[in-house]
Structure 1
Amino acid sequence: PFTWPNAVAVALLVMLGASAAVAFVWAARYSLAISRLRRGVGDTVFYSADGKPWFRMDEQHEEVPLSAISPHLRRAVVAVEDHRFYYHGGIDVIGVGRAASKNLREREVVEGASTLTQQLARTLFLSNSRTWGRKVKEAALALLLEQQLHKDQILELYLNRVYLSGGVYGVQPMARRLYGKPARELTLAEAAVIAGVIQAPSALSPWSNPDRAVRRSHTVLERMREQKLISREEEASAVNRRPTFRPFVATAEARSGYVREYLRQQFRNEFGGDHPPDWQARTTVVPQVQEAAERAVENGLRRLGFRNLEAALVAFDPRTGNLLAMVGGRDYRLSAYNRATKSKRQPGSAFKPFLYATALERGFSPVSVLSGLASMPPLGRDEWIPRNAHAATADELTLRAALLESNNRASVALAQKIGTRPVIRMASDLGVTGQPDVPSLALGTGLATPFALTLAYAAFPNGGLRVKARSLVSVLDADGASVLDNPVSSERVISAETAFQMVSMLQDVIARGTGTAVRQWGVR
């Protein structure tokens, strides 16, 4: 007969059976993946917008057997990252207890207890998200790795995959880039530096923070001495021999080097420095547009003729925020500094559309008249008076005419009428942040990157909607499951009417104003 206790018991049995089946399938799937590791590890591949494979996460990857890695480096990594590596079964129970006790005392997470095997499991199969679900999977995968691989195999995989700053994965390419020698020839002092970087690759990078990297290496040497892996004399000798670091040199090809590294960094921002194999990252970059951008920068610099002049270019789809192309400088091989995303410069007259959009939002129209331009009083404590590129200044101009000729006095007069703070707020809402509250703001005397400035302009042709920059559309793991879905995101910043008027006014700038020169390059 039906009773509620019986029904509950049956339901629980069904749930337990289903959970066991899911766990079995999950374990079987990853067991197969681990068995394949004996044949080598794949790489994350980035796809261009046309769906074709474009480049790998680590184009300089070089795997070597454990026997080809200096014993100094092997011992240093184990000493500082997981000194009970050869004694636990994938999870260090003692370390977990110690970390839990310390975190409870501090009332925050100040210490972790991930073993080398857990770190490898995360690197190969999981994201870097800080969730309990990921930690449980990481622990289970560590146990599976320990069951199917012996310790030296795990250590070899780890040393060939670990992220070590500067876009370098694995100890062999790191040894070549940092010291100009293979990993088997590293001295104790050199090995300690590389082992120390693992804790925080960006903060401890020998290229960007050499002093911190060396101080961290001293901690590594101290741990090795405490664990009786080296003598006190060997420690002192290594501490007194500061390694010489080779300067950082970008190794990627010059073509598309900036945008490739930008995409890699976006991937790292999502998944950390870990390096999962056989993942697929779908990007928004259009190869034909990227090639055109590279040519445009190259030809433009050649035309100007200044040897050390740099340039940057970034192109977005204004409807979606999709990054279509990016060039961060003259030659990525000579300078990896991405001027498109990092170099802040005064936008000058390119800032004026934000001023005029603010005025339109506050009741002005394209035919509103600005008067008294020929005899403006001094502004600010320094009694500054704006000047135009040409000496002649009309006393009255409509907003449309003032923007068409990029009239400085008209722009400053308009800013005085509506106030600088609404303009700053408008620019910030569009993504151009940190602008100064000064009379010359209207002339673009603040700072902005080409990336932020270009994306802000997208709101005009997009009907007043600000779009979020998007370069990664989706990421699939080795099984084809989605681990990242990045849909188009937008929000209204200005009205559709203001956006329409701004497009009309900017079209006039190109058709018969200060921007007519670009028409010879096909811009309309």
Structure 2
Amino acid sequence: MRRLILWGLALALLAALFVGLAVAFAARSLPSFYQLQATQVGQTIVVRARDGSEIVELGPSYGQWLSSEEIPQVMKDAMIAVEDRRFRSHFGIDPIGLARALYVAVTDDTRVAATSTITQQLARNVFLNSNRTLDRKLREAVLAVALETKFTKEQILELYLNKVYFGGGAYGVDSASRKFFSHPATRLSTAEAAIIAGLVKAPSRYSPTADVDAAVDRASVVLRLMREQGRISASEASVDVSAVNLKEETGQNSVRYFTDWALPQLDLLLPETFEPIEVWTTLDTGMQRAATASIKANTPEGAQGALVSLDRDGAVLALIGGTDYVQTNYNRATDAMRQPGSSWKLFVYLAALEAGYTPEDRVVDAPVTIEGWSPRNSGGSYAGPIDLRTAFAYSKNTVAAQLGNEVGFGTVASMARRFGITTPVSTYPSMVLGSSEVRLIDMTRAFAAVATGGSSVEPYGILKVTTASGELLYQHERAREVQLVPDHVAAGITDLLQTAVNTGTGRAAQIGRPVAGKTGTTNSNKDGYFVGFSSGITTGVWMGRDDNARVASLQGGRAPAQAFAAYMRYAVRNRPIEEFDTDLQLPEWQLEPDDEQMFGDPDDYYFIDEQGNLIEPGRPQDQGEDYFPYPDQPGGGAGVGPGEGDRPRLPGQPPRRPVGQPLPGDPAPDAPAAASDDFLRRATGEGAEQQQQRQPRQPNPPPPQ
């Protein structure tokens, strides 16, 4: 027993010596009070709109540094009461509090409760991270004791109250007071001090701007502890915390959806830096306000709405991820994957137009079954034979199904990928009606590519990044454009999209100038879509419920189209009216059959008259009145164009006549040969004797000039 006691004392002395040396070394290496006062935690980011105006400041926000004498005593008492009641008596670590926490953990079989003192919290906030490991707790304890040996209690409390995080980016009591109450911390009341002191435990949970009731309940706990510890009177403890005037949040609600999407891109765009920076974005504050108002005014009750608006170069002008950022910060514009409904038919018709269809081509709207799937039109009616333009304008599902089946569902999926759809795309027949889930920003990007005449568009939100002193860290460079479809395909789909707004399902999107767009509604009205463009601005709108439940009367041609129109009237008000280019300059292989398409230019041919005389090309004026260069006219000669029989047929090109098959107007099969024997002898240069020795043969046409 004596040996155990002696060894125990020896080990205790060694441990005390080790701790003492650790504390001495830590205290010696600690920065001075003024150095700690000058250091800041984290990086401040000022976000600016495209016009340079400041729209939000993110990261740590520091108010005025308040000395111990300037900090109200009620603020000090509130913090000590709720965070460290024995702050004035311990040496950085609270042995009594630690022993009580261990006893509770043993008797109640629960985890050890938080036992950090104010000094330990200061050490953790300034020097360490928040990992809950034994190593970190031991270092925290050593640093806390070192702080107590180097600084006075008032200095420690001053550092703590000026550096602790209170939520919402606010560091220090002055920043928190200005953020929540719109006045400096030197004017804090008892109730306001109780609210701020209650934030330290869980800044996001008890923030008065996020949950007023939770903040009031927590402040009441702080006031009760202050009363129990004799720091305030009973009358002061009974103040009405709910009567405190809180600062209203302005201009930061919907903008945060945009910053949540754009700012994470800085990790890829910038080298690692911790200095304050300014981020110049593409956001237009007026358009953002208009977008917010249009979504709030038109979204059905109980549903959510999202909007993305792109300029012709891909710059994001406005972005709304929900009806209220404070209630839910989930970004439905960039993260949510929902079915686009009939707006997906954009890719079906793009594939059909590329395969050779034109807006005037006739199709049949009738019941159809493809691989056991039988699509139905909205309303259950069928129009019979109609043109492609009408089928698209009135969103005929049966026609889209037939087109998708004809061009191939894989072709439609490839077209969607080509235009920027990044989510998985199925190739089942029902995919033509928008059964594959997509992101709103991707669909808006696809329509923006159509608006640019078929050129690729890459959405972006950051123009440049500078330091606080103006040094340029990043400058946006426009992405290389790629032509996704031929011009005539882009013109054709624009024709269809414009008709859908003028006379079809998207009439609610009209704004008094040319608009092209497409509606989309999913089964049971779970999703409503409208995406369209006008005057160089492309905007997509989605509405629906987060739980994917049905929304009464939600259709793409109603609320989403109305929200689109309300926003676009403001967005394009200062832009010139632009007419759409819908003039289809079809490629040669897709033109209607005519003489020149079938036979080429007459000047490229050699003709032979009835007497076998060679007619030189390009000189019809030298011939008599009986000259007819075309074979389908009376007396016309037979001609063979250069390489006509060898040219391969392109996809969708009208079939050429088989070799040997006469065309209308060709001579009858038993008609005499066009060339006489005398002409053959003169043309080949052979003598009469040689010609008589040869067997008769048909002449080859002379080579082209």
Please classify the TM superposition score into its range, dividing by the shorter chain length.
0.5 to 0.7
| Among 326, 333, 342, the residue aligned to 1:340 | 333
Aligned twin of 2:509? 518
**Would you say 1:376 and 2:374 are equivalent positions?**
no
3-state DSSP of counterpart to 1:509: helix
**Equivalent pair of 1:476/1:482 in contact (CA under 8 Å):** yes
For 2:256, give the aligned amino acid: R
Distance 1:181 1:439, change over 3 A: farther
Distance 1:513 1:485, change over 3 A: same
| Among 313, 319, 325, the residue aligned to 2:307 | 313
For 2:444, give the aligned amino acid: T
Counterparts of 2:160 and 2:67, CA distance in 1? 5
**Equivalent pair of 1:366/1:400 in contact (CA under 8 Å):** yes
**Would you say 1:258 and 2:254 are equivalent positions?**
yes
Unpaired segments ≥5 residues, structure 1 = 1-33, 84-151, 195-204, 208-250
Aligned twin of 1:292? 290
Aligned twin of 1:50? 51
3-state DSSP of counterpart to 1:340: coil
**Equivalent pair of 2:308/2:319 in contact (CA under 8 Å):** yes
For 1:352, give the aligned amino acid: K
Counterparts of 1:420 and 1:206, CA distance in 2? 49
**Equivalent pair of 2:335/2:439 in contact (CA under 8 Å):** yes
Aligned twin of 1:324? 317
Greater alpha carbon shift after TM alignment, 253-262 vs 487-496 = 253-262
**Would you say 1:398 and 2:387 are equivalent positions?**
yes
3-state DSSP of counterpart to 1:366: coil
**Would you say 1:282 and 2:280 are equivalent positions?**
yes
Counterparts of 2:169 and 2:351, CA distance in 1? 46
Aligned twin of 2:355? 362
Counterparts of 1:82 and 1:337, CA distance in 2? 26
Residue 261 (structure 1) shift: 4.3
Residue 448 (structure 1) shift: 1.5
**Equivalent pair of 1:43/1:279 in contact (CA under 8 Å):** yes
| Among 403, 416, 420, the residue aligned to 1:414 | 403
Residue 376 (structure 1) shift: 1.4
C-alpha root-mean-square deviation of aligned residues, in Å? 4.4
Q: Which whole-Å deviations, capped at 9, do the CAs of 1:443-487 have from their partners, x for residues lacking one? A: 111112222211211011112112111111100113322211122
**Would you say 1:485 and 2:533 are equivalent positions?**
no
| Among 411, 433, 438, the residue aligned to 2:428 | 438
Aligned twin of 2:441? 451
Counterparts of 2:262 and 2:489, CA distance in 1? 33
**Equivalent pair of 2:60/2:170 in contact (CA under 8 Å):** no
TM-score, normalised to structure 2, is 0.43
For 2:57, give the aligned amino acid: R
TM-score, normalised to structure 1, is 0.57
Give matches, 1:73-222, under 5 Å.
73-77=121-125, 80-81=128-129, 168=169, 170=171
**Equivalent pair of 2:295/2:306 in contact (CA under 8 Å):** yes
**Equivalences, count:** 353
Counterparts of 1:258 and 1:252, CA distance in 2? 15
Distance 1:480 1:429, change over 3 A: same
Q: Which whole-Å deviations, capped at 9, do the CAs of 1:129-156 have from their partners, x for residues lacking one? A: xxxxxxxxxxxxxxxxxxxxxxx9xx98
Counterparts of 2:251 and 2:322, CA distance in 1? 11
Distance 1:470 1:327, change over 3 A: same
Distance 1:484 1:79, change over 3 A: closer
Distance 1:185 1:356, change over 3 A: closer
3-state DSSP of counterpart to 1:458: helix
Flag the structure with higher helix content: 1
Aligned twin of 1:269? 265
For 2:466, give the aligned amino acid: L
Counterparts of 1:292 and 1:506, CA distance in 2? 24
Distance 1:483 1:520, change over 3 A: closer
Q: Which whole-Å deviations, capped at 9, do the CAs of 1:48-105 have from their partners, x for residues lacking one? A: 112223321248656777988932223345775499xxxxxxxxxxxxxxxxxxxxxx
3-state DSSP of counterpart to 1:325: strand
Aligned twin of 2:529? none
Q: Which whole-Å deviations, capped at 9, do the CAs of 1:275-321 have from their partners, x for residues lacking one? A: 855422111111221121122112213xxxx432221111111x210
**Equivalent pair of 2:48/2:281 in contact (CA under 8 Å):** yes
3-state DSSP of counterpart to 2:338: coil
Distance 1:186 1:58, change over 3 A: closer
Q: Which whole-Å deviations, capped at 9, do the CAs of 1:189-237 have from their partners, x for residues lacking one? A: x6xx99xxxxxxxxxx999xxxxxxxxxxxxxxxxxxxxxxxxxxxxxx
Residue 182 (structure 1) shift: 8.0
**Equivalent pair of 1:387/1:409 in contact (CA under 8 Å):** yes
**Equivalent pair of 1:253/1:333 in contact (CA under 8 Å):** no
Counterparts of 1:44 and 1:360, CA distance in 2? 48
For 1:291, give the aligned amino acid: R
**Would you say 1:500 and 2:491 are equivalent positions?**
yes
**Would you say 1:465 and 2:459 are equivalent positions?**
no
Counterparts of 1:73 and 1:324, CA distance in 2? 43
Q: Which whole-Å deviations, capped at 9, do the CAs of 1:340-368 have from their partners, x for residues lacking one? A: 12222211011111111122223332233
**Equivalent pair of 1:424/1:435 in contact (CA under 8 Å):** yes
Identity of aligned residues (%): 26
For 1:514, give the aligned amino acid: T
3-state DSSP of counterpart to 2:451: coil
Counterparts of 1:342 and 1:49, CA distance in 2? 24
Distance 1:58 1:76, change over 3 A: closer
**Equivalent pair of 2:287/2:318 in contact (CA under 8 Å):** yes
For 1:311, give the aligned amino acid: G
Counterparts of 1:446 and 1:452, CA distance in 2? 13
Counterparts of 2:162 and 2:420, CA distance in 1? 40
Counterparts of 2:252 and 2:446, CA distance in 1? 24
Distance 1:354 1:484, change over 3 A: same
Residue 253 (structure 1) shift: 3.6
**Equivalent pair of 1:44/1:275 in contact (CA under 8 Å):** no
Aligned twin of 1:25? none
Counterparts of 1:503 and 1:62, CA distance in 2? 54
Residue 330 (structure 1) shift: 1.7
**Equivalent pair of 1:46/1:280 in contact (CA under 8 Å):** yes
Aligned twin of 1:224? none
